[in-house]
């Protein structure tokens, strides 16, 4: 079943659990509706496959990044365990990050920071170093978040890296179509480091 991400909502504490990431609203042909819990696949994989737990880059590929003072990475990821892994991985690279549960939360934060920068006569590039986003998230997916960023004149030059468990040429083609600057598979921390290094080198 294919749903628009506006039909998927973050799970409340009383409904969600360790392996639940969001709630989907399903509508049937008779006009009725029901709710379905969406599993946190990253959490399940983390629990059953120890190999996905490594978050430190290998010594021969480890990089640290000298960002502009006070700049941060904006991260959008609905899986709790994936957020933790990303936060630890970015910390090991020397990249401070603001973590968000959904694409919509990240987008609202970006808009807020943009307005604050404009009011202070500053560039948004003095606030945001890059955006790192998952694809499948409640309320706003990574494709929409990326598209929103790239459509705004003040934001279009911000580097956007998509970090997803979805693979395949169709998804990678869509990533390029929405204007993302990089794509990397989840939990590949060394590849993530390399992709971030590449996009930041090209950043204005």
Strand pairing report for 72-76 and 97-100 = parallel
pLDDT of residue 13: 47
Q: Tell which residue, 198, 60, 192, 67, has the closest CA to residue 126.
A: 67
Going along the chain from its start, the domains and CATH numbers come out as: 5-44 (no CATH), 51-202 (3.40.50.2300)
pTM reported for the whole predicted model: 0.75
With vertex at residue 177, the alpha carbon angle to CA 152 and CA 199, rounded to the nearest 5 degrees, is 70
* Confidence (pLDDT) at 75: 97
Q: 172 burial class (0-12, 13-18, 19+ CB within 10 angstroms)?
A: middle
Predicted pLDDT of residue 71:
93
Q: What is the pLDDT of residue 53?
A: 52
Cα separation, 32 vs 139, whole angstroms? 21
CA distances from 17 to 14, 25, 86, 128 (A): 8, 18, 21, 32
- Please list the pLDDT of the chain residue by residue as tens digits (204 residues): 777 777 777 775 445 567 777 788 887 777 777 888 887 777 777 777 665 555 554 444 456 677 888 899 999 998 888 888 889 889 888 899 999 989 999 999 999 999 999 999 999 999 999 999 998 888 898 989 999 999 999 999 999 999 887 665 656 677 778 889 988 877 677 888 888 888 888 876
Q: What is the pLDDT of residue 115?
A: 95
d(CA 175, CA 204): 21
**CA 61 to each of CA 26, 48, 159: distance values in angstroms, whole numbers, following the listed order:** 45, 27, 21
CA distance 101 to 137: 8
CA gap 26, 187 in Å, rounded: 31
């Amino acid at each position: 079943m294919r749903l628009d991400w506006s039909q998927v909502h973050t799970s409340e504490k009383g409904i969600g659990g360790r392996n639940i990431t969001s709630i989907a609203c399903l509508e049937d042909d008779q006009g009725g509706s029901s709710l379905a819990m969406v599993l946190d696949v990253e959490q399940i994989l983390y629990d059953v496959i120890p190999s996905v737990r490594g978050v430190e880059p290998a010594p021969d590929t480890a990089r640290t990044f000298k960002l502009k003072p006070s700049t941060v990475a904006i991260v959008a990821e609905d899986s709790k365990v994936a957020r933790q892994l990303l936060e630890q991985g970015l910390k090991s690279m020397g990249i401070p990050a603001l973590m968000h549960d959904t694409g919509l939360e990240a987008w609202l934060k970006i808009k807020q920071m943009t307005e604050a920068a404009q009011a202070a006569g500053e560039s948004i590039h003095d606030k945001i170093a890059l955006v790192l986003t998952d694809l499948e998230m409640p309320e706003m997916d990574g494709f929409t978040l990326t598209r929103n960023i790239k459509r705004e004149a003040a934001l279009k030059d911000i580097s956007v890296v998509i970090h997803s468990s979805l693979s395949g040429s169709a998804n990678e083609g869509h990533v390029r179509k929405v204007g993302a600057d990089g794509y990397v598979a989840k939990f590949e921390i060394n590849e993530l480091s390399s992709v971030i290094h590449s996009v930041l080198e090209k950043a204005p």
